Amino acid sequence: MSGGLLVAGTTSDAGKSVVTAGICRWLVRQGVKVAPFKAQNMSLNSFVTREGAEIGRAQAMQAQACRIEPTALMNPVLLKPGGEQSSQVVLLGKPVGELSARGYHGGRQQKLLGTVLDCLAELRGTYDAVICEGAGSPAEINLRRTDIVNMGIARGARLPVLVVGDIDRGGVFASFFGTLALLSPEDQELVAGFLVNKFRGDVSLLEPGLDMLHGLTGRRTYGVLPFRHGLGIDEEDGLRVSLRGAVRESVVAPPVGEDVLRVAVCAIPLMSNFTDVDALAAEPGVVVRFVDRPEELADADLVVVPGTRGTVRALRWLRERGLADALVRRAAEGRPVLGVCGGFQILGEHIEDEVESRAGAVAGLGLLPVRVRFAREKTLTRPSGQALGEPVEGYEIHHGVAAVEGGEPFLDGCRVGAVWGTHWHGSLESDGFRRAFLREVAAAAGRRFTPAPGTSFAALREEQLDRLGDLIEQHADTDALWRLIESGAPQGLPFIPPGAPA
């Protein structure tokens, strides 16, 4: 077997995804053949691999950090929420059904432990090291019995565990100690130590606390990572535009033209793959914001209706909020609107849905001559082609099948006036196509905006991944980290009471 490590966290959003990516990038720069792994991911941000499997975008990003192609082995179980109580279960890249939270945690999840361990073993047989990401907290004592993503996978594969804590939130020492103290003796044996994330200030002021934590737990801290803006790339869920922070901080990338371009993204329910707008936010002079009120569309040069896991529900929300009427007015005035995937379906004339919402026939906004019928089989493809005179690539993840009955061709969808619609996610990451599209938007909006000629989204992504690798290389004890990956948790680590409840 190869080396391995599980990156767990004291909470959700402690930084597990970016720390995992940073460790992966640091290792690959040392010549280590490394792969990422997350047994179970709950996210509406997903990606399609070249073999047509759907996985979490975080694992696709981590694979890029490893400089390898993502595969379904890296995220064998993906849960895509469809509401407060249920999720679509995607197993080895293919949807296998909808389950309630009670149904999943009540028995189905534990049955998947063998599958995820097999996937991890296959990766470990191929790579020098596999860096695994946990989910939430390993101390979810109500879910430990069926856990397959935190201590369940660590115990099953004998992985050492590094617990990440977000000190920017406060209470990190209590979180580290409490996480450990709520684990069983068998689980605690694998928790090697801690990693502090998002620290601001003088590290010397933190060191007495780290020493006391070591005295209390017998476990060392493997590093203190400083707070850095603009590093939240392709994480699970949350209203963030991952490259926007980096662009706003840049003092060397002012708008090229006379005007900026304002983009408003409708924050619809069950919004999925909102990472589509990251490439827009990467452009100098493009300002992206999420909106949920019609008046916020007034000064927007482009409105994006993004993907969603609930097309009919999102359409109803747009109508209830008055945003649907505002979109119709925009289209009548010739002001730009872009619909992506579920957003594209919403802009059409008619939706027939007996699969996702089971709502039957529903009228769309009627902005595009498109009729949508939901199929039980999910479309999972990686299309490529040409549009607006430029090469473009994307990926498709949808149950809705669109029949386009007019307009000008646009990717797999169509265009009518200043309204565009497509099922293709990720198309705006194609630099030439993105610039051509923004020129069309600027012309329709009457803005003297010029796309920067040299912006490369792929290069910006690589720069960010290298910054993550730099954080690990410069602020973690990499020698100790490698010993941990190669040899496992130290022997004789003390038990910290009370441990997990019986």
Task: Output phi, psi for 360, to 5 deg.
Answer: 75, -135
3-state secondary structure of 454: coil
Edge to edge, what strands does the sheet with 86-91 contain?
40-42, 77-81, 86-91, 94-100
Annotated catalytic residue, options 399, 423, 425, 475:
425
**Neighbouring-strand partners of residue 291:** 266
3-state class (DSSP) for residue 214: helix
266 tagged catalytic: no
Among 341, 398, 423, 475, which one carries the catalytic annotation? 341
Distance CA 221, CA 407 (A): 60
Catalytic annotation present for 414? no
Across 58-185, the runs of DSSP E, i.e. the strands, are 77-81, 86-91, 94-100, 129-133, 161-166
**3-state helix, strand and coil shares in percent for the chain, rounded to the nearest 5:** 35, 30, 35
HEC per residue, 15-79: CHHHHHHHHHHHHHHCCCCEEEECCEEECCCEEECCCCCEEEHHHHHHHHHCCCCCCHHHCCEEE
Buried b (16+ CB within 10 A) or exposed e, 161-197: bbbbbbbeeeebbebbbebbbbbbeebbbbbbbbbbb
Parallel, antiparallel, or unpaired: how do β-strands 161-166 and 129-133 relate? Answer: unpaired
List active site positions.
341, 425
